[in-house]
Structure 1
Amino acid sequence: MEGDGEEGREPALLWPTTVEELVILQESLGQAEEEMWKPPARPLLVAGCFLCFSRGRRGPGHAGEAGWAAAALVQSGRLLGAGVARGVASVPYEPGLLALREGSLLEEAIRRLPDRPELLLVDATGRDHPRGAGLALHLGAKLGLPSVGVTRNPLLACGRPPGEPRGSLSALWLGGSVVAYWVRTQEGKAPLVAHAGWRTEPEAAAELLLALSPRYRTPEPLRQARRLAREARALEGSRGGRD
């Protein structure tokens, strides 16, 4: 990524290679007290990142399957850049340990963007996590960027569903604190969860998710990243690669 400035200097974090290492790091990140980021009153340069795996998979995910990660750089609804990376999952999927499986590949895709984003949108949880540090938060900390997680459902947090009109919100609670919000991004569509991530408050996460979803249920940076990842998978399959 170009344009790494003083404000966006990255902390010296490595991706753990064992469950024990990851748990220790997640506990540290979950307890870290960082100054909260406030979105500026102008269109943001946002990177959505998404990872898809081989077709025909069974179960939640196993070690050794091929994955395609993509990052889409979007501003005011326009795609300004893309980064794609291919790799292999070294571990099976386990709730709360997604960073072991996806973290390094998503980082590689983001680093292939032409410019440094101001915000990360990640297909993962943040504070809604057993140790308060899901992959959306972890990836933001790794890159020194504010981050927001977006998922279809909460991981551990609980709360009532939002109202039907677009823009309806409902808090999701974990351990006595609001860690995320249900957000109705489009009337007549199922709501999404906006997760507080690295240096972001739950309320800001909800506002950003809604602002980045003017036409579709899924925010535009994540829509573009999902499309790019799936196109990369399909292209390799058409060339006879592992798919």
Structure 2
Amino acid sequence: MSRSAFGDWDGSIEGARRLQTQLAAQVRLVDEAPAAPRTIAGLDVGFEDQGATTRAAAVLLDGTTLQLLDSVVERVPTAMPYVPGLLSFRELPALLAALQRLAQVPELVLVDGQGIAHPRRLGIAAHFGLATGLPTIGVAKKVLCGRFEPPGPQPGAHTPLVHNGEQIAWMLRSKARCNPLVVSPGHRVSMDGARERVMALLRGYRLPEPTRLADRLASRRGAMPERVPAPTGRF
């Protein structure tokens, strides 16, 4: 399912940026996920041991009911220090490890972070999509780059986020009286498709259900267990 996530990266900061530019050219902004995916994953990352350990959380939901089918946490040594714009080089190894432990391969993945809403058009969701081949969407809480007009106050209002004359995301008001989300395609999802799918996964909270549950698990909020057995006979 996965290809090499980092190719022939030489380990340098400049090398990472060059690789991002090369990989961004491979991103496909077309809707290739099933119209009604049977399973949807949400991914998020936290840190332990003062940042020395990366804690990746993955949840698997039923695509129709959004019932939680599986949840896992994977801990790996943090690959590199935080460098703005290079988040995937820090977090991707843990996310890929968490994905491997899910009960099923999801048909759609939402990642807490940027898709193409990135200076070099390769945020963590886009990099994850290329590494796995899975359709991915980035759902971020803050803007990394670009300009936008604030969307209206009502849930569902949206405006384009534009960087260097190119739309790179939607600013989506997912809940009244909350800051808008940055919703961008990662890989194998279109710009409009990303927004429409995130809207369909909202259940009254600011975050869509897949990343809301992954966020709880990654940050240790709530009582969600680290693994929930898949229902008998489901798979």
Q: Structure 1 pair 184/44, CA: closer, same or farther in 2 (3 Å)? A: farther
Q: Which of 52, 68, 81 is residue 55 of structure 2 equivalent to? A: 68
Q: CA deviation at 1:19?
A: 2.5
Report if aligned partners of 1:18, 1:100 keep a CA contact under 8 Å in 2.
no
Matching of residues 227-238 of structure 1 within 5 Å: 227-231=216-220
- Tell me, what secondary structure is at the counterpart of 2:170? strand
Q: Structure 1 pair 147/159, CA: closer, same or farther in 2 (3 Å)? A: same
Query: Aligned partners of 2:130 and 2:35: how far apart in 1?
Result: 23
- Tell me, what secondary structure is at the counterpart of 1:103? helix
Q: Structure 1 pair 216/44, CA: closer, same or farther in 2 (3 Å)? A: farther
Query: Aligned partners of 1:214 and 1:199: how far apart in 2?
Result: 24
Query: Aligned partners of 1:190 and 1:97: how far apart in 2?
Result: 24
Query: Aligned partners of 1:119 and 1:18: how far apart in 2?
Result: 32
Number of equivalent positions: 219
1:116-171 deviations in Å (ceiling 9; x for gaps): 00111111112121211111100011011011111112211211111111111110
Using the aligned pairs only, state the percent identity: 36
Query: Aligned partners of 1:172 and 1:231: how far apart in 2?
Result: 31
Q: Read off the aligned partner of 1:37 and give its amino acid letter.
A: D
TM-score, length-scaled by structure 1: 0.82
1:74-132 deviations in Å (ceiling 9; x for gaps): 12221111221012223221111111211100110111100000111111112121211
Q: Read off the aligned partner of 1:103 and give its amino acid letter.
A: L
- Structure 1 unaligned residues grouped into runs of 5+: 1-8, 58-63, 235-243
Q: Which of 17, 20, 23 is residue 17 of structure 2 equivalent to? A: 23
Q: CA deviation at 1:44?
A: 4.4
Q: Which of 91, 96, 100 is residue 102 of structure 1 equivalent to? A: 91
Taking only aligned residues, the RMSD between alpha carbons, in angstroms, comes to: 2.3
TM-score, length-scaled by structure 2: 0.84
Q: Which moved more, 1:28-37 or 1:99-108?
A: 28-37
Match of 1:136 in 2: 125
- Structure 2 unaligned residues grouped into runs of 5+: 224-235
Report if aligned partners of 1:171, 1:182 keep a CA contact under 8 Å in 2.
yes
Query: Aligned partners of 2:88 and 2:45: how far apart in 1?
Result: 12
Q: CA deviation at 1:39?
A: 4.4
- Tell me, what secondary structure is at the counterpart of 2:216? helix
Q: Which moved more, 1:204-213 or 1:139-148?
A: 204-213
